[in-house]
Amino acid sequence: MRKINAVHVAIAGLLAFSLFGATMIGTAHARMGDGCDYGGKGAEHHGMFSGRMAKRLGLSDAQREQIDAIMRARADGVRAKVKELRTVREELHGYATSTTFDPAKVKAAADRQAALMSDLTVSRVTAFNQAYKLLTDEQKHKLADWKDRHEAGHGDDHDADAAPGK
């Protein structure tokens, strides 16, 4: 009987850890939807090609307007998916703290969460690609240079203009 209890405790611990990880991923993605995707809090500063990045790339007013239109066009869909993602996250949390456990329900909720995250990612990458196509060759080179410096650790959102080579 003691071995069975230890196995149950191990399985429960593994499940809790997995659920915590899935919830944290969902939370991070939901926050991205509110803050970094367009239309939520902080979009002014964190939206793609806005704020410092727009200045860094030297976007024209026409480019900014076109990019804003791209982001506005997807904002309602993003908000709806983020809201649904939060609901699924709460559902998963409920399963984790329930006295009864149904793996099929957890799997179904986890699958919905994965599908929502996939949809949000496709939407974000599609919008980025549409905005990228509006850039001039010079702006694309500036963006690539910034990305290279950023990934190499020589610049971040706050000091990329001061990075070596500027």
Tell me if the pTM is above 0.75.
no
Domain contains 149: no
Alpha-carbon gap, residue 12 to 18, rounded angstroms: 10
Please check whether residue 27 is in contact with residue 87, taking contact to mean a CB–CB distance below 8 angstroms.
no
Domain contains 96: yes
Domain contains 158: no
Domain contains 114: yes
Q: Which amino acid is at 115?
A: A
Q: What is the full per-residue pLDDT of the chain (166 aa) written as tens digits?
A: 555 555 555 555 555 555 455 455 454 544 444 444 434 444 443 466 778 888 889 999 999 999 999 999 999 999 999 999 999 999 999 999 999 999 999 999 999 999 999 999 999 999 999 999 999 999 999 999 988 988 888 655 544 444 444 4
Query: Which residue segment(s) compose the domain that 37 sits in?
Result: 2-135
Domain contains 157: no
Residue 82, exposed/middle/buried by CB under 10 A (0-12, 13-18, 19+)? buried
Domain contains 88: yes
Overall number of domains in the chain: 1
Domain contains 53: yes
Domain contains 162: no
